[in-house]
Copies of this chain bind each other. A is one copy, B any other.
Amino acid sequence: MERIIVREVGLRDGIQMAHRFLETERKLEWVRRDFAAGVREVEATSFVPPKIVPQFADAAEVAAGALAIEGLLVSSLVPNLKGAERSLAAGITHVNYVLSASDAHSRANVRRSTDEAIEEFRRIAALKQTDLGKDLVLGVGIATTFGCTIQGEVDPRRVLEIAEILVGGGADEIIIADTVGYANPGQVKDILRPVLEIAAGRRVSCHFHDTRGLGLANLVAAVEVGARAFDASLAGLGGCPFAPGATGNINLEDTVFLLESLGFSTGIDIGALLELRRDVESWLGDERFSGAIARAGLPKTYRPAAA
């Protein structure tokens, strides 16, 4: 029974644009119930400046609470060196930094060129030489790998060049991200095959959004060429609620259903996730909650792979 890792990013990507501040204790209940459902990796918070994303004003408290759960791998998202330092100070040593393969997206999003964002990556990686960062495990996401809403096409050669720079520069994990939901299964295979080679045994994760309905088809394509780690968000939360039509990450419950149906073990109990999502809906209120299994239920024929 081959294992596939599903990392819950609902507490980060899922709620970063939510209308309502989710109380710290709710966030921690979410993390604890994820863990009870069998989730073993959670991107629990983001160390962005609270004045930019008030939702993460409690990042240090969430970090402390999540890190107290034995057996859970807790990671954070950081936008820059400062964020990485704050994450490490809060005890989260698994840090995910994201840069954009699209120069236009990078400039619009963080007012830096892609090359400048790569320089920031080098500064974060250099933390490994410091006392603060000696346990740093650094994941780096390559956003807009499959195209960009601003500049359109992104040259796959640029993505591979960046992947090589990251691996050479000390990244421990490469996260291939379809930030804007542009990817199709053919593209996914074409980019992941060489990225898995470049990664040379380092972890390669995929971060797909379901904006154009192909999220799960893209996941199957990624699995077929050897990817074994995926980000997903409870209830498919995420995306920008102010952009009409925007949608979130691939749905966690549906992702588990798909992977287990294909014979992979995720270790995750879908029933427990469905109970959790009902509570999260009541906590968050007016957000876009998606998910086919939540709507239609599991097939009578469903057998978790591990069963």
Binding site for B on A (CB under 8 A): 146-149, 152-153, 180-182, 184-187, 210-214, 216-217, 219-221, 245-247, 251, 254, 257-258, 261-263, 291-293, 295-301
Contacts and interface: CB of A to CB of B under 8 A. Distances in A.
Give the copy number. 2
Contacts of A213: 216, 251, 254, 257-258, 291-293
A246 B296 contact: yes
A26 to B, nearest CB: 27
Contact of A216 (B149, B214, B247): B214
A247 B295 CA distance: 9
Contacts of A251: 213
A191 to B, nearest CB: 14
25 contacts: A147-B300, A147-B301, A149-B300, A182-B299, A182-B300, A184-B261, A185-B258, A185-B262, A186-B261, A186-B262, A186-B263, A187-B261, A211-B296, A212-B257, A212-B293, A213-B251, A213-B254, A213-B293, A214-B292, A216-B216, A217-B220, A220-B220, A245-B297, A247-B292, A247-B296
A245 B149 contact: no
Contacts of A254: 212-213
Closest 5 pairs (CB-CB, A-B)? A213-B292, A184-B261, A245-B296, A147-B301, A217-B217
A291 B210 CA distance: 11
A217 B262 CA distance: 12
A182 B298 CA distance: 9
A154 to B, nearest CB: 8
The listed residue with most B CB atoms (<10 A of its CB), out of A214, A217, A298, is A217
